[in-house]
Amino acid sequence: MSTTDILDLSAAAAAAAIGGGSLSATELFEAYRDRAASDRAAGDAGLNCFTWVAADAPSEPVDAPLAGVPVAVKDLFCTEGVPSQAGSRILEGYLPPYTATAVSRLRAGGAPLLAKTNQDEFAMGSSNENSAFGPVRNPWDRERVPGGSSGGSAAAVAAGLAPWALGTDTGGSVRQPAALCGIVGLKPTYGAVSRYGMIAFASSLDQAGPLTRDVTDAALMLRHMVGRDPCDATSLAFPGEIELPTAERLDGIRLGVPQELTGEGIERGVLDAFAAAIEQAKELGAEVSDVHLPHAPHALSAYYVLAPAECSSNLARYDGVRYGMRATDAHDLLDMYMRTRHDGFGAEVKRRIMLGTYALSSGYYEAYYGRAQRVRTRISEDFRTAFEQIDFVVTPTAPSVAFRLGEKTADPLAMYLNDYCTVPMSLAGIPAISIPCGHSEGLPVGLQIAGPAFSENRLLDAARALERSIAFDARPARV
């Protein structure tokens, strides 16, 4: 098989080719390893997708369903003996003594580690510009962002530098970069995948999820990640198996379009591509109706209280004592803490720590954190009510196509608005997938489909039927 043929295979097709004997796992690993290593070596002249690339292919043949198809993994997953910095200077030099459950499950399923991917620092960002490793570039247009925070994972898959990748989604960090890079991104039900070994941002929201070239690959990766893990008390046994999707039609499927997430603030070109996808869904037999999520417009506000609050608490552990960097020449212990955190954290992380500390401080706790948790209840109720009448909620994934590097860095609030359509599902803990549904200005647009907790199999089926019908050409020119 030629290198071009190899790179054209989806992960599922590559696993099948290895199983059928027409491709060797080593050949596949090396084809991607060489491409990933070139991108890493090129630095800012490349896409800057990776923070680390494996030196060698596994020496033993892989006797497991994924057959040796390697996976690129977001930097914030702890990988034993392999640098894991969550895109932050403060974890410089950290070599975790253990591996995250999601990564070890994928490895046990037959997917070895290809590389670690660049990301926004501690997963805080929507453009991958907040990384100690520098920004990632979008393979569709080098002057534009890939989205974030799993920007390196999304760009690597879109550019054919990895067969598939693992990311994390707190408020949209898998779905939004998938949309901006023209690939598939799935945020599973909260608890479906263990968070053990994921460097925490906001524990009540963080979920690991696949970034893949198609919906079948997303299902295949998820199948090898889900399940209860004794190391994460919030993980849950998935009811049944994750099936590979087969649906070609949407007959009898009821889709709800929430006006709250499909109007003001969304770019015209994005709305046009979204409308065209809805027409496709109708042609496939879906019933489409309006649905109301009355509290969804408040989701972003609640999210930007809750996520920073949890962040300020989770990031208290970076104090220069147990791992990573320590500021030198401190004159006492407190000074050492404060200077280490000053030197080690980037601007956005500091902003969120300050915001969270404020929201949790005595006297403000009820006004901010308490109220936000009540809004969260309302948002979950909105979805529950909607799902009594419809099967899935559909929205654009992101309000715009990929924007220019530097365009939103000076205005944190404008950056936060990227998450407008994705945070409601995060707050409700429900699964949501983004699939490419068309172009605007020559750049990909994502369609988000969200369902009730643990509806992943139905969700993947619906996404697959739409994907086939839309037939999006998911590949920018190869870099």
For 418, half-sphere exposure in the C-beta direction (CA atoms, 13 angstrom radius) is 32
Handedness of CA 432, 160, 109, 56 (dihedral sign): negative
Can you tell me the distance from the alpha carbon of 399 to that of 233, in angstroms, rounded to the nearest whole number?
35
Applying CB under 8 A, which part among 3-11, 37-45, 411-419, 470-478 lies near another protein?
411-419
| Cβ proximity of 88 and 121 under 8 Å | yes
Answer for which of 283, 321, 385, 404 binds another protein (CB under 8 A) is 321
Q: Does 440 sit near another protein (CB under 8 A)?
A: no
Answer for which of 377, 389, 406, 442 binds another protein (CB under 8 A) is 377
Answer for which of 409, 412, 439, 475 binds another protein (CB under 8 A) is 412
Answer for which of 49, 199, 427, 459 binds another protein (CB under 8 A) is 427
How many other CB atoms sit within 10 Å of the CB of residue 118?
31
Helix (H) or strand (E) holding 153: helix 151-158
Q: Does 341 sit near another protein (CB under 8 A)?
A: yes
Applying CB under 8 A, which part among 104-112, 213-221, 263-271, 372-380 lies near another protein?
372-380
| Cβ proximity of 130 and 148 under 8 Å | yes
Tokens of 441: 């200005």
Q: Does 98 sit near another protein (CB under 8 A)?
A: yes
Q: Does 428 sit near another protein (CB under 8 A)?
A: yes
What minimum distance in Å lies between the beta carbon of 423 and another protein? Answer: 12
Can you tell me the distance from the alpha carbon of 429 to that of 451, in angstroms, rounded to the nearest whole number?
10
Tell me if residue 149 is catalytic: yes
Q: Does 380 sit near another protein (CB under 8 A)?
A: yes
Torsion of CA 378, 149, 154, 33, to 10 degrees: -140
| Cβ proximity of 68 and 103 under 8 Å | no
* CB contact set of 362 (below 8 Å; sequence gap of 6+): none
| Cβ proximity of 168 and 150 under 8 Å | yes
| Cβ proximity of 129 and 135 under 8 Å | yes
Q: Does 385 sit near another protein (CB under 8 A)?
A: no
Q: Does 332 sit near another protein (CB under 8 A)?
A: yes
Q: Catalytic pick from 173, 194, 312, 426? A: 173
Answer for which of 342, 384, 404, 478 binds another protein (CB under 8 A) is 342
Q: Does 361 sit near another protein (CB under 8 A)?
A: yes
Residue count, binding to another protein (CB under 8 A): 71
Q: Does 387 sit near another protein (CB under 8 A)?
A: no
Nearest of 94, 222, 211, 229 to residue 149 by alpha carbon: 211
Q: Does 89 sit near another protein (CB under 8 A)?
A: no
Answer for which of 25, 71, 453, 462 binds another protein (CB under 8 A) is 453
What minimum distance in Å lies between the beta carbon of 456 and another protein? Answer: 13
Phi, psi dihedral angles at 367 (to 5 degrees): -65, -35
Tell me if residue 74 is catalytic: yes
| Contact positions with another protein (CB under 8 A) in 169-198 | 189-191
| Contact positions with another protein (CB under 8 A) in 278-297 | 295
Nearest of 198, 213, 51, 19 to residue 128 by alpha carbon: 51
Answer for which of 209, 320, 436, 438 binds another protein (CB under 8 A) is 320
What minimum distance in Å lies between the beta carbon of 356 and another protein? Answer: 8
Pick between residue 66 and residue 293 the one whose CB is nearest to another protein.
293
Q: What is the Cα Rg of the chain in Å?
A: 21
CA–centroid distance for 393 within its chain? 19
What minimum distance in Å lies between the beta carbon of 186 and another protein? Answer: 17
| Cβ proximity of 173 and 149 under 8 Å | yes
| Contact positions with another protein (CB under 8 A) in 199-238 | 204, 230, 233-234, 236
Q: Does 258 sit near another protein (CB under 8 A)?
A: no
Q: Does 159 sit near another protein (CB under 8 A)?
A: no
Tell me if residue 173 is catalytic: yes
H helix count then E strand count, the chain:
15, 11
Can you tell me the distance from the alpha carbon of 189 to that of 454, in angstroms, rounded to the nearest whole number?
6
Pick between residue 350 and residue 439 the one whose CB is nearest to another protein.
350
| Contact positions with another protein (CB under 8 A) in 389-408 | none
Q: Does 77 sit near another protein (CB under 8 A)?
A: no
CA–centroid distance for 202 within its chain? 14
Residues labelled catalytic: 74, 149, 173
